[in-house]
Amino acid sequence: MGPPSSSGFYMSRAVALLLAGLAAALLLALTVLAALYGHCARVAPSELQDCGVPDAAPSPPGEQDQSPPTRKPDPALEPTVAATPDSWRPPGPWDQMRLPPWLVPLHYELELWPQLRPDELSAPALRFTGRVNITVRCTAASARLLLHSFLLDCDSAEVRGPLSPGTGDATVGRVPVDDMWFALDMQYMVLELREALQPGSLYELQLNFSGPLYQDTREGLFLNVYTDQGERRVLLASQMEPTFARNVFPCFDEPALKATFNITVIHHPSYVALSNMPKLGQSEKEDVNGSKWTITTFYTTPRMSTYLVSFAICDYDHVSRTERGKEIRIWARKDAIANGNADFALNITGPIFSFLEDLLNISYPLPKTDIIALPVFDNRAMENWGLMIFDESLLLLQPDDQLTEKKMVISYLVSHEIGHQWFGNLVTMSWWNNIWLNEGFASYFEFGVINYLYPKLPRNEIFFSNILHDVLKKDHVLVSRAVSTKLENFTETNEINELFDLFTYNKGASMARMLASFLNENLFISALKSYLETFAYSNAEQDDLWRHFQMAIDDQSEIVLPATVKSIMDSWTHQSGFPVITLNVSTGVMKQEPFYLGKVKNQTLLAHNDTWIVPIFWIKNGTTQSLVWLDKSSKVFPEMQVSDSDHDWVILNLNITGYYRVNYDKLGWKKLNQQLEKDPKAIPAIHRLQLIDDAFSLSKNNYIEIETALDLTKYLAEEDEIIVWHAVLVNLVTRDLVYDVNNYDIYPLLKKYLLKRLISIWNIYSTIIRENVAALQDDYLVLISLEKLFEAACLLGLEDCLQLSRELFKNWTNHPENEILYPISTVVLCYGIALGSNKEWDLLLNIYMNNTNEEERIQLAYAMSCSKDPWILHRYMEYAVTMSPSIFNERNIIEDVAESEVGRYIAKDFLINNWQAVWTTIIGDSHVYNRENCKYRFTDHGAAAVFQCHVGGTPEAYNSSQITDSEERKSEKQKPKCQDSCMAMEKHIILCPLSVLPLHIRM
């Protein structure tokens, strides 16, 4: 069979064969025959009723299926059912996104045979073949079977049954398959049977199929070509989540349709094959050419979802250890294993498993765990049960990677994927709309694990920096989505992919953390345990989870909630955004209102009447107070009142466990200011961080005056927590502030104001960098904050920062083996070039040309754009345009150049004078790049380049133009809007001179 058609919907295999041999006249005659016999493939929808085409709705369970009653058994007439691939098809269950409920899969016997040999690295069009026997239970009579299959060729399909337990094969009948066709748009394979299957009976679907192995996408079965021990090699791995199992084998590819799997992999004898379960046995076979192949079979899996099926076929080495009697193996390139790169991951994996087993008091049910490190894996990591797959850059630790930051990245990711072994693998959401039950809880438990592995790290600050900060910046009530998406909002399969976003992960984790805060840790864990045990090997909805929390609440009397757990949590997970809580400390009145980006007067009246049920933990003068609830739009809390004459201060949202921002009346802010100036340490660091972050966000979005936020920075000379400084600097020191000529009046003042305060924290860290940089290795918060401090100090022109950059750059160029401390290397390289001459620039170019490490090349390419010499920048852009595109392919050089105050004008001139060359060399056809700043899509309509812009570094303006990522993908029409926004925001946009430019160019 040839590859399946990708151009149409309705493709009958039998018809396709016939069409190939028939003349047009015969086709016409057959079509007429088809109409006569009631197969309405080519008739208009309005004529349907007359033709006896079945209803589009799925058959209700227990009813006889209404599939074509007039279907003719005569095979000679069968082809007339069909059509060319472009023809119309009758409406039917294949138009629905969800499978009809007629069949329930119970077990898969799956055999895959990828035709992969170690010496065939570049063989084009490598394929795999496979066989699957799926045991299904029929729940409603139907002569039409639907299952998922995408881009597979299916060579044969048979249906055996009804199966009677205990009888041999010989007694089992067959149900003839009259036709098989594909609804490509909905990724279904449809089997038309001669007779209906019987409700309550078991059947076996037997399918032989084949499909392509991909190199350029990581979906389904794919190849990685890589170098190991000095040789080019190739391996095969899989990625099924969310909907790619159907690219590998025909299956019922929905998370709730769990089944057991017996997996067999046929592979070249020099490879090892891995799957979810341990190896059961191995044998040999010979193909028709006499080549030998190894057949590896695996033990039966537990009941699990198709998206967790996993394979790897590779020539890798591994390291292993045993944890509580179960083997853990980490697989990687032989070089990496020999260098000990997998040891760190191996050493933490066992303890993480044990920690989570003990915490949840549920044993990991599989007999083994394999983790494999792929040279290229776009998904970062995937939690497949028993065979987790990681990108090697996120699992392996190079010997010189002594920095805690890299260890932390690995620790977080390994914790996350192991967390999924319970949240996702053991208990799975019933449908993708609740994917946050997987991702939110796996993300939340990362922090429990990290706290266990690294008890000295401040957990609240870390949760804020890694999770809350980003999502609070993006979330608001108008354009962002709720954590739990409504079922009816799904219409297309690819919308499932878009759910793997910040809201699912970060907001989901924040929901779990808020819930844990107002229950207590014991109650939280015991409710989760009860939920996991109840739904083990099965599926659950969000409401199932709430029910188990409610049961735990009802079983005790200590914790009293103002409403059911479901009411409380639905107010957070079913609506987008979050509230701003405002406390008037003079009156004790607390109120809530929805948070809008760029609030305008009376906006609340426009769109949002709902409230949240808000848990308020709070502190007064540093003492934690009892939890109160704001369960309506406003309420009075007399205990929160303070007067102007006393020294009290109040802060809401203790440890920022609540998912909201806090505002105060003038007196409330004033008291906090007074305290900060008097004794900042009386306010815990997490709350100094919170005050800065909330105040700047609220002022940016018109809830409070900017002066209120700036007042909070007066004390900063006394601030020695770099994480707090980080929050200040990301809000105050941005490139557009420094480089925008319109800021000529405020910038010098701000610079003076900040430098005066910044100097003390700068002195602390510049001294450590100069004298004992190793002391920073284990300080995670410093490592994630230092770059901003260093960048801001240099950007503001602090002479010592410039001097230190010169020193570090020179030291590195003289002794390249002395690497620059990773977090500050981008800044140091940039200022090394900015403060140097063409000598330094040429040196860096030389290093760049000889460097093959992608991460380092990105840094070096960026650093070269930092020059302040116009001719150097011009030459650099010329190199980028004239040299092979593969040389400067890591970055958009012109955009980098345009980022600086010198470069923007040079880049603009360059673009005008070299538009054609830029177009053909750098841009190519329709290409989108730089998602962070000004985003532009060049179309191939000659002149037009459509720009999408948002304020550099601040996504608010972007969002205020009502465009989200997913909306943007959906509708190209949105773009002009964004362009307007770009124009309107012109003075804030670094690239605006560039961004409006192509509108004036007509090629």
- Residues 332-371: x where in contact with Zn ion by CB under 5 A, - otherwise, as a string: ----------------------------------------
Supply the angle between the helices 870-882 and 903-913 in degrees, to the nearest 10: 40
Type and span of the H or E element at 437: helix 436-453
Nearer to Zn ion by Cβ, of 272 and 442: the residue is 442
| β partners of residue 223 | 236
Smallest gap from Cβ 382 to Zn ion, in A, equals 8
Nearer to Zn ion by Cβ, of 149 and 504: the residue is 504
Site residues for Zn ion, 758-797, by CB under 5 A, read none
Cα 885 to chain centroid, rounded: 29
Helix intervals (H) in 574-705: 603-607, 666-678, 685-700
Cβ within 8 Å of residue 483, ≥6 positions away: 436, 440, 503, 504, 507, 508, 511, 572, 573
Smallest gap from Cβ 454 to Zn ion, in A, equals 21
Q: How far is CA 153 from CA 8, 84, 312, in A?
A: 15, 17, 22
Smallest gap from Cβ 336 to Zn ion, in A, equals 24
Question: Under DSSP, is residue 124 helix (H, G, I), strand (E, B) or coil?
Answer: coil
What are the tokens at 43?
């008739």
Spatial distance between the Cα atoms of 517 and 514, rounded to a whole number of angstroms? 5
Type and span of the H or E element at 545: helix 542-554
- 690 close to 727: Cβ distance less than 8 angstroms: no
- Residues 401-440: x where in contact with Zn ion by CB under 5 A, - otherwise, as a string: --------------------------------------x-
Which listed residue (204, 219, 392, 417) is catalytic? 417
Nearer to Zn ion by Cβ, of 192 and 439: the residue is 439
What are the tokens at 21?
């041999």
Q: How far is CA 448 from CA 356, 426, 512, in A?
A: 9, 19, 12
Nearer to Zn ion by Cβ, of 442 and 532: the residue is 442
Smallest gap from Cβ 499 to Zn ion, in A, equals 12
Smallest gap from Cβ 259 to Zn ion, in A, equals 22
Nearer to Zn ion by Cβ, of 447 and 958: the residue is 447
Spatial distance between the Cα atoms of 26 and 33, rounded to a whole number of angstroms? 10
**Whose CA is closest to 463, among 692, 659, 597?**
659
Question: Under DSSP, is residue 365 helix (H, G, I), strand (E, B) or coil?
Answer: coil
DSSP string, 863-918: HHTT---HHHHHHHHHHHHHS-TTTT-SS-HHHHHHTSTTHHHHHHHHHHHTHHHI
242: preceding bond cis by omega (within 30 degrees): yes
Q: How wide is the angle at C-alpha 373 spanned by C-alphas 368 and 374, nearest 5°?
A: 130
Spatial distance between the Cα atoms of 103 and 99, rounded to a whole number of angstroms? 9
Nearer to Zn ion by Cβ, of 414 and 782: the residue is 414
Smallest gap from Cβ 442 to Zn ion, in A, equals 5
**Amino acid in position 275:** S
**Amino acid in position 172:** V
Question: Under DSSP, is residue 97 helix (H, G, I), strand (E, B) or coil?
Answer: coil
Which listed residue (203, 505, 596, 659) is catalytic? 505
246: exposed, middle or buried (Cβ count in 10 Å: 0-12, 13-18, 19+): buried
Spatial distance between the Cα atoms of 452 and 459, rounded to a whole number of angstroms? 10
Nearer to Zn ion by Cβ, of 414 and 729: the residue is 414
Smallest gap from Cβ 439 to Zn ion, in A, equals 5
Nearer to Zn ion by Cβ, of 381 and 716: the residue is 381
Q: How wide is the angle at C-alpha 894 spanned by C-alphas 891 and 898, nearest 5°?
A: 115
Cβ within 8 Å of residue 404, ≥6 positions away: 777, 778, 779, 780, 783
Spatial distance between the Cα atoms of 492 and 35, rounded to a whole number of angstroms? 32
Cβ within 8 Å of residue 19, ≥6 positions away: 27, 79, 84
Nearer to Zn ion by Cβ, of 254 and 439: the residue is 439
- 146 close to 93: Cβ distance less than 8 angstroms: yes
Smallest gap from Cβ 243 to Zn ion, in A, equals 16
Nearer to Zn ion by Cβ, of 500 and 879: the residue is 500
Smallest gap from Cβ 445 to Zn ion, in A, equals 11
Cα 519 to chain centroid, rounded: 29
Smallest gap from Cβ 424 to Zn ion, in A, equals 7
What are the tokens at 329?
């193996």
- Residues 643-662: x where in contact with Zn ion by CB under 5 A, - otherwise, as a string: --------------------
- 847 close to 880: Cβ distance less than 8 angstroms: no
Smallest gap from Cβ 320 to Zn ion, in A, equals 24
- 330 close to 345: Cβ distance less than 8 angstroms: yes
The strand order across the sheet containing 188-197 reads 10-12, 177-183, 188-197, 142-148
| β partners of residue 105 | 136
Nearer to Zn ion by Cβ, of 444 and 696: the residue is 444
Spatial distance between the Cα atoms of 180 and 803, rounded to a whole number of angstroms? 73
Smallest gap from Cβ 539 to Zn ion, in A, equals 17
**Amino acid in position 476:** H
Nearer to Zn ion by Cβ, of 79 and 440: the residue is 440
- Pick the stretch among 243-251, 395-403, 442-450, 809-817 that binds Zn ion (CB under 5 A): 442-450
Site residues for Zn ion, 153-182, by CB under 5 A, read none
Helix intervals (H) in 127-201: none
Residue 417: active-site member: yes
| β partners of residue 661 | 580
Spatial distance between the Cα atoms of 718 and 728, rounded to a whole number of angstroms? 14
Residue 505: active-site member: yes
Nearer to Zn ion by Cβ, of 468 and 864: the residue is 468
Smallest gap from Cβ 420 to Zn ion, in A, equals 5
Interacting residue ranges for Zn ion, rule: CB under 5 A: 439, 442
Q: Which active-site residues does the annotation give? A: 417, 505
